[in-house]
Amino acid sequence: MTAPGPRTPAGTPGTGTAPAPAPQPGPALAAPGDSAAATPATPGRNAAAPAPGRTGATSVGGITPGALWRRSRGVLVCLGILLAGAVVLAALGSGSRHGRLDPRSADPDGSRAVAELLQARGVTTRVVTSAREAAAAAGPGTTLLVTDPDRLGATQRRAIRSAIDLSGGRTVLLAPGSTSLPDLAPAARAKGDAFDEDLDPGCALPAAVTAGRATTGGGLRYTAAAAAAACYPSGGHPTLLVLPSGTTGGDTVLLGSETLLLNKELASEGNASLALQLLGSRPDLVWYLPSLSEVQDEDPAQEKGLLELVPRGWGWALLQLFVAAALAALWRARRLGPLVTEKLPVAIRASETTEGRARLYRKAGARDRAATVLRAAARERLAALVGVPPTRAHEPAALLPAVSARLTDGQTTDGHTDGRQDLTALLFGTTPADDAALVALADHLDALEREVRTS
């Protein structure tokens, strides 16, 4: 904000018509940290007082509301776009109440289609979310489907294993791996991934023969010493195993991939026929969807990593924020090209610049740098006085003889007779040991220049 009275750029009181002083030659850049720098003012103009009657455009710290809005509107637009995107994603995701392999979900990754086909054939589907409910509902006339056996904790695996041994019904395990197989199906072992998705039956199991080619690959393969049926082989190992369960007459089905139960794949190949025969052999179907909260509540000793506890949707949100931040950084970057010199609207005295730079040297203890600058400037001025070309001003063989010839009787400013040696130490010497020696060096250089100038 300006003072309420006309002043000249140099700060001298006067009238509004007084001409501004001409800027002095020399560098127009203030050294960093120079507290004695002149107050910025436009050359050739007077600092005007606030115009009467103008009260709407008040500036705070030199920034008007209009300038503040122009600087921040880009960020506000980006935030608005992010907010709108979040609302749209939330609206799109609100229609999906259930997750993958849920018999109540009509999403492409849900399993509502197979549940409705089973219902049309008289099979009742019951959804449970805990191992206790699943074990309690299992029986001779029940098919128990476990959608994610590897997610189960030790307590849940023991409950399901008890149901397998005692129920006498069928248990279908979807893609069980090395984590759950030792507890739920100890007679079987996982043998790696099956890269082919659509496979031929390759066995005499009636359900497989009826269904024909099906999408049982793309998951795990298994091996077992004694199996009632081993179907849909990939690389010599089956992706579907049927194992007897104890002496109760039940069986356990290991299905290496859950793809054939998804809504988007049920109509492909013989997936629908195989799914209906595997899950519809009993009048009741217990569809067990393990949850992460169940494992934490019933098995507190099982620790989960940080990434396992973060919901899946947050990964996409973080990616969107990262992309938005990168775009904002590119948009706000102002110096992607070479630096451009800009004329400053203020003239600063050369003495102020020199003092500011000297204070920086002193604060940093840079006596070597200060001595180098003093000697270089003195050599250039002396070369101009004694007729040495500027290109050879810093060569001792060219400068020292010419300067010595201008000194009175070959003596230095201190009266020493060995002038050549003193000049060498003075103009091309080492770094001063302390600040007093640096000040003495500056005085000797000034005295030498005066003597050469007056000779």
Q: Which residues of 133-151 are buried (b: 16+ CB within 10 A; e: fewer)?
A: bbbebbbeebbbbbbbbbb
Q: Is 19 within the bounds of a domain?
A: no
Q: Rounded to an integer, what distance in angstroms lies between the CA atom of residue 73 and that of residue 328?
A: 12
**Predicted confidence (pLDDT) at residue 387 exceeds the cutoff of 50:** yes
Q: Which of 302, 331, 346 is the last residue of a domain?
A: 302
Q: Is 144 within the bounds of a domain?
A: yes
Best mean pLDDT range from 80-89, 96-105, 250-259: 250-259
Q: Is 92 within the bounds of a domain?
A: no
**Predicted confidence (pLDDT) at residue 337 exceeds the cutoff of 80:** no
Q: Is 342 within the bounds of a domain?
A: no
Question: Whole-model pTM above 0.75?
Answer: no
Q: Is 372 within the bounds of a domain?
A: yes
Q: Are residues 120 and 254 located together in one domain of the fold?
A: yes
Question: pLDDT tens for residues 220-251?
Answer: 999 988 778 899 999 889 999 999 886 677 89
CA angle, corner 430, sides to 427 and 436, nearest 5? 90
Please list, in sequence order, all residues whose beta carbon lies within 8 angstroms of the beta carbon of residue 11, skipping any fewer than 6 positions away. Answer: 39
CATH at 161:
3.40.50
Q: Are residues 147 and 250 located together in one domain of the fold?
A: yes
Q: Which of 302, 336, 364 is the last residue of a domain?
A: 302
Q: Is 150 within the bounds of a domain?
A: yes
CA angle, corner 240, sides to 235 and 242, nearest 5? 135
Specify the number of domains making up the chain. Answer: 2
Q: Rounded to an integer, what distance in angstroms lies between the CA atom of residue 269 and that of residue 265?
A: 9
Query: In the structure encoding, which two tokens stand for residue 329, read together?
Result: 């950084």
Q: Are residues 220 and 160 located together in one domain of the fold?
A: yes
* Residues 228 and 244 sit within 8 Å (Cβ to Cβ): yes
Q: Are residues 283 and 396 located together in one domain of the fold?
A: no
Q: Tokens 């122009």 label which residue?
A: 70
Q: Are residues 149 and 258 located together in one domain of the fold?
A: yes
- Rounded to a whole number of angstroms, the CA Rg of the chain reads 44
Q: Is 73 within the bounds of a domain?
A: no
With H, G, I as helix, E, B as strand and everything else as coil, classify residue 225: coil
Query: In the structure encoding, which two tokens stand for residue 216, read together?
Result: 């049982």
CA angle, corner 228, sides to 235 and 195, nearest 5? 20
Question: pLDDT tens for residues 97-152?
Answer: 567 899 999 899 999 999 999 999 999 999 999 999 999 999 899 999 999 999 99
For the segment 353-371, the average pLDDT, to the nearest whole number, is 88
Q: Is 9 within the bounds of a domain?
A: no
Q: Rounded to an integer, what distance in angstroms lies between the CA atom of residue 414 and that of residue 182?
A: 98
Best mean pLDDT range from 155-169, 240-254, 299-313, 330-344: 155-169
> What pLDDT is stored for residue 417 in this prediction?
41
Q: Which amino acid is at 381?
A: R
Question: pLDDT tens for residues 267-297?
Answer: 999 999 999 999 999 999 999 998 877 766 5
Query: In the structure encoding, which two tokens stand for residue 346, read together?
Result: 């203020």
Which residue segment(s) compose the domain that 208 sits in?
112-302
Q: What are phi and psi of 255, to 5 degrees?
A: -115, 115
